[in-house]
Structure 1
């Protein structure tokens, strides 16, 4: 018997290459490591408001430039930020097609109106049965409410759901909801974790 019914993936840094984020680290003179930056980003009031659909694009960009003390103008940030998503990691499409006959595939992603079309253009959503998207849900990870909404819509016991995310704070929140959650950074760790769990 399979241990899980549903596999839920974060997108950026798990299935999608978001190496465009390096630009903001460069502007900040690499003041922090990538994990440290992501923790600041997740906790940013502007990011949380924008990715939960409660702030418009214009206000978000202005607030981010101020909050992160970026030495750039509005258009420079917008152009760079719009290009953060570089596409699916090599092998993602093949993996999802391999898993799909046996598992319901979902994603739970903090994203926004600026990035969503870029996400769709990668083709990854076409390979996922049930997308859960923060700006449409009005909630963001790691708030418990977003996991509760997801579980209610999946109509599955939490222990039948596997969740893979590259941020420990999101993994901890999912675990607190009873979900089987693991931190994975990059697609190689995704595959390795699925092998260790006998999913692959």
Structure 2
């Protein structure tokens, strides 16, 4: 019997507009992600580099773009957060121990909070026993250590813990740690239909 759920954030609760972000970067002159920028993002999501260092890395590839235009393009990936998902989460919080575990950065979190407003963001965060951001932990999914850390920290039983994420590699890593998983498919499935999966 599941008594704990660890949720991902992007494309589970908040919709991600990946194509919109790519389009905005194309308009600034960036054809698409490259190895250097992907490595930079990895470092930023681990909290190993500052916001300014991250932005300076982008400016190397977009020397004509100003910092605000780059930040706007970067943040354009953050989409809407349907109210029904928050309401569903609030119901779950009365029955299960809930945690949030997301690979993210400080820029995106600020953007999310500004978009939804203080009241909505507060209601969302209050659903969780603890919110875990990769940039504060110094780790990222799909590293197994990030799951083991939470299991140890909160004395969780892996077989009674469900992990919900839209990325297969993250779910595979969670399974290696003994967690139950739901690899949610954005655009096909919605977190509010969790009970239809017959997992809980």
Q: Per the shorter chain, which TM-score range?
A: 0.7 to 0.9
The 8 Å contact of residues 119 and 125 in structure 1, kept in 2 or not, is answered as no
Say if 2:82 is the partner of 1:89.
Answer: yes
SS at match of 2:190: helix
- CA deviation vs aligned residue, 1:154-174 (integer Å, no higher than 9, x gap): 211211110111111111111
SS at match of 2:88: helix
Counterpart of 2:193 in structure 1 is 192
What's the Cα RMSD here?
2.8
- How many residues of Structure 1 are paired with residues of Structure 2 in the alignment? 187
Say if 2:5 is the partner of 1:44.
Answer: no
Unaligned ranges ≥5, structure 2? none
- Please report how far the alpha carbon of residue 52 of structure 1 lies from its aligned counterpart in structure 2 after TM superposition: 1.0
Tell me the distance in 2 between the aligned counterparts of 1:72 and 1:185.
37
| C-alpha spacing 1:198/1:89, structure 2 compared with 1 (3 Å) | same
Counterpart of 1:14 in structure 2 is 12
Counterpart of 1:176 in structure 2 is 176
Tell me the distance in 2 between the aligned counterparts of 1:193 and 1:130.
21
SS at match of 2:149: helix
The 8 Å contact of residues 15 and 186 in structure 1, kept in 2 or not, is answered as no
Query: Max radius of gyration: which structure?
Result: 2
Counterpart of 1:139 in structure 2 is 139
Counterpart of 1:57 in structure 2 is 51
Say if 2:91 is the partner of 1:98.
Answer: yes
Tell me the distance in 1 between the aligned counterparts of 2:104 and 2:71.
15
Tell me the distance in 1 between the aligned counterparts of 2:149 and 2:44.
19
Tell me the distance in 2 between the aligned counterparts of 1:178 and 1:71.
47
Counterpart of 2:107 in structure 1 is 114
The 8 Å contact of residues 28 and 70 in structure 1, kept in 2 or not, is answered as no
| Length-normalised TM-score, structure 1 | 0.80
Range 110-119 or range 80-89, more displaced: 80-89
Tell me the distance in 2 between the aligned counterparts of 1:136 and 1:96.
23
